[in-house]
Structure 1
Amino acid sequence: MDRREIAALLAYIGRLDPRTTRTDQGEARDQLAQWHELLGDVPLATPHGWDARITARQHIRNSPYQIIPADVARPWESYRRDRLSRHTDPTPSADPDDQAAWTAELVGTRRAVASGTAQPTEYREIASQSSDLRLEALLEQAGSRIPPQARAALAPFRPTRATREAAVAQGWPDPLSVHCQWCHAPVGAPCLRRRIDPDDTTRGKAQRTTPHPSRLALATEQTQPSAMT
C-alpha cells in the first residue's frame, strides 16, 4: 500500500474504532509513517480474496484490543503461504535452453500468485472426462499401461499379482475374480494363510502368493459356462 492507501485504511479503521484516530497532526503523521513502513508491501486489495479493510473489520469485531499493523500483516502472510502451498509451477512457455528466461517466468508466476494477482495452478486430476487421442493410440498399441519389461522387473516385488497375471496369460481363469471359500478372502484380495503356534493357537495371518485350490476351482467353474457359449 502506498501512503494514500494507508491513509484511506486508517480513515476506515477510525470510523469503526475511534480509539485509533489521531487528532494531533504530528501524531497522525507519525501513525501514517509507521503503518506505511510496516505495511508498504501489503496490498490494499487483490482480485482473489484479499482485502485489508475486511481483515481490519474482522479484527475490530472479534478482538477487544486496538488494532496494530501486525494484525493486518499476519493475515496477509497466511494468505500468501496458503496460495503458494496450493500452487504447482506450470511449465514455462520460454525456451528451456534459455535458463534466464525460464527462471524469470517461473519466478514471475510465483510472485503473481503470492501477491494475489493470479490464481494458483493446482494439479489436474489424473482421471478426467477428456482423453488424449495420441495417448490412447499409444496405449492401444502397447496393450497395457505397464510395458512388459517393466512388468517383468516388478514381478519379484509383487508375487501375488505376478502369479495372477501369469495364470490369465496362460488362459486360466483369474482366481481373484471370486471370493475364497476357504479363507474368506474377498474378491480382488489375495488368499491368506494362518500362522499357528505350537499349541495350535492362531498367531495371525499372512498373504499367500498362490490362491487356495478351491478358489481356483470356483473361478474355473464360474468361467466354464461363458467359455462354452
Structure 2
Amino acid sequence: MERREVAGLLAYMGRLDPRTMRSDQHELRDQIEQWHELLGEVPLATAYGWDARDAIRAHVLSSPYPILPVDIARKWTKHSSDRLARHTDPTPAADPDDPHAWRAELLGTRHAVAAGQRPPHESRALTSDNPHPDLAARLRAIGSVIPPAIRAELSRYRPARAAREAAAVEGRPDPLSVRCEWCKAPEGEPCRARRTDLDGGARGNARRATPHPSRLDLATAALNRQEYAA
C-alpha cells in the first residue's frame, strides 16, 4: 500500500470513526508514516475478494475500540492464508527435467495467489465436504461433484457402481441395497465368490462382477414393498 493509498484509507476510516481523525498536520503525517510502515506489504484492494475498507467497516461495526493498522495486517494475513489453503498447485508448464524452472513457476503461482493477483486453483474444493461458496452455483448446475462426461469415462473402471447408478436412473432394483443371504455380503458391498475345499475351508473370496440371483430377488421384493407403501 503506497502512502497516498494509506492517506485515503485514513480519510475513509475517519468518516466511519471520527475518533481516529487527526487535525494536527504533524500528527497526521506521523499517523500516515506509522500505518505505511505496517501496511506497506498489504494491498489496498485486489480483484479477488480483498478490500482494506471492508476490513475497517467490519471492525467499526463489531468492536467498540478504534481500529489499528495491525488489525488490518492480521486480516490480510488470514485472507491470504485462506486463499493458499484453497489452492491446489496446477501442473507447471516448465520442463519437469529443469527442477529450478519447475520450482520457480510453482512458487510464482503461489505468490500470485497469496498476493491476490490471481484466483486460487481450487480443483480440490470440488471434492471437499464444505466447498467454497463460489463453487455452489457450479455444483448445483452439474448436480454432482463429478461431471457427467467424467462419470461416463470412469464407469468402465468401476462397473459395480455404474450398474447401481444405472439401476437408480431406470427405476430398477439395486441388489447392493440389501444384504446377500447367500454369501453374507453386507449392504453396499458386492457379492463374493466364496469357494470351499473338501474339508470345508475357504479357498477363495473374490468379488463378483454380478450379484447373486437370490440377492436380486430380495432387492426386487424390497423395492415392491416401498412402492406399495408409497
Q: Is the 8 A contact 1:178 1:218 kept in 2?
A: no
C-alpha deviation, 1:127, in angstroms: 3.1
Name the residue aligned to 2:88.
Answer: 88
Q: What amino acid is aligned across from residue 130 of structure 1 in structure 2?
A: A
Query: Aligned residues, how many?
Result: 167
Equivalent-residue separation in structure 1 for 2:66 and 2:176 (angstroms) = 67
Q: Is the 8 A contact 1:177 1:219 kept in 2?
A: no
Q: Is the 8 A contact 2:113 2:119 kept in 1?
A: yes
C-alpha deviation, 1:180, in angstroms: 3.6
Q: Is the 8 A contact 2:191 2:212 kept in 1?
A: no
Name the residue aligned to 2:149.
Answer: 130
Equivalent-residue separation in structure 2 for 1:73 and 1:61 (angstroms) = 18
Equivalent-residue separation in structure 1 for 2:44 and 2:92 (angstroms) = 29
Larger radius of gyration: 1
Q: Is the 8 A contact 1:2 1:36 kept in 2?
A: yes
* SS of the residue 1:90 aligns to: coil
Measured at CA, do residues 127 and 221 of structure 1 come closer, stay the same or move farther in structure 2, by a change above 3 Å? closer
Measured at CA, do residues 94 and 181 of structure 1 come closer, stay the same or move farther in structure 2, by a change above 3 Å? closer
Q: Is the 8 A contact 1:83 1:113 kept in 2?
A: yes
**RMSD value over aligned CA atoms?**
3.6
Q: Is the 8 A contact 1:17 1:60 kept in 2?
A: yes
Equivalent-residue separation in structure 1 for 2:70 and 2:117 (angstroms) = 22
C-alpha deviation, 1:81, in angstroms: 0.6
Q: Does 1:145 align with 2:157?
A: yes
Q: Structure 1: give runs of 5+ residues left out of the alignment.
A: 147-174, 192-208, 223-229
Name the residue aligned to 1:188.
Answer: 189
* 1:64-75 correspondence runs (5 A): 64-75=64-75
C-alpha deviation, 1:122, in angstroms: 1.6
C-alpha deviation, 1:71, in angstroms: 1.4
Name the residue aligned to 2:31.
Answer: 31
Name the residue aligned to 2:118.
Answer: 118
Q: Structure 2: give runs of 5+ residues left out of the alignment.
A: 127-144, 159-174, 193-204, 219-230
Equivalent-residue separation in structure 2 for 1:75 and 1:5 (angstroms) = 18
Q: What amino acid is aligned across from residue 31 of structure 2 in structure 1?
A: Q
Name the residue aligned to 1:97.
Answer: 97
Name the residue aligned to 2:170.
Answer: none
Q: Is the 8 A contact 1:48 1:119 kept in 2?
A: yes
- Give CA deviations for 1:26-66 in whole Å, capped at 9, x if unaligned: 11111111000000000000001100011101111111101
Equivalent-residue separation in structure 2 for 1:119 and 1:85 (angstroms) = 12
Which stretch of the first structure deviates more once superposed, 91-100 or 26-35?
91-100
Identity %: 53
- TM-score, with normalisation over the residues of structure 2? 0.61
Q: Is the 8 A contact 2:83 2:120 kept in 1?
A: yes
- TM-score, with normalisation over the residues of structure 1? 0.61
Name the residue aligned to 1:218.
Answer: 214
Measured at CA, do residues 42 and 189 of structure 1 come closer, stay the same or move farther in structure 2, by a change above 3 Å? same
* SS of the residue 2:149 aligns to: coil
